[in-house]
């Protein structure tokens, strides 16, 4: 099942020349978790999501976007 959450962490990180390990250390998770979040393979907890937004100094909705799944009915 694919996640409905999309994120812009990779772009935000690239804009600040920040490595995955640096971000991981700032938000108290492992580098593998940052990789999983960036690839939309893992949805972080609300606390970690807020920490990420805080690190980049942007609103939460700028980092994470929710895409509602299409119902498939016409």
Partner 1 sequence: MARLSFQEKMLWAQLAGIVVVVVFYGYFLVHAGPGHHYFHALLLVLLFLFACVRTFFRRRSGSVVEDERDRSIAAIGSRWSNIILWLGLILILVLYWDHGSVHSAHFLIGVLFHLLVLAGSVRIIRELVAYRMAA
Instruction: List interacting residues with partner 1 (CB under 8 A).
Output: 21, 24-25, 28-33, 35-36, 39, 41-42, 44-45, 48
**CB nearer partner 1, residue 21 or residue 65:** 21
The span from the CA of 28 to the CA of 21, in Å, is 10
**CB nearer partner 1, residue 18 or residue 72:** 18
**Minimum Å distance from CB 4 to partner 1?**
15
Tokens 């972080």 label which residue? 44
**Minimum Å distance from CB 37 to partner 1?**
9
**CB nearer partner 1, residue 28 or residue 58:** 28
Of 32, 12, 10, 11, the residue nearest 21 (C-alpha): 32
Residue 6 burial (CB < 10 Å; 0-12/13-18/19+)? exposed
């Amino acid at each position: 099942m694919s996640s409905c959450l999309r994120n812009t962490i990779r772009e935000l990180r690239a804009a600040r020349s920040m490595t995955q390990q640096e971000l991981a250390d700032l938000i108290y998770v492992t580098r593998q978790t940052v990789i999983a979040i960036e690839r939309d393979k893992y949805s972080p907890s609300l606390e970690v999501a807020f920490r990420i937004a805080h690190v980049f100094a942007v609103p939460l909705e700028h980092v994470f976007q929710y895409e509602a799944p299409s119902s498939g009915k016409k």
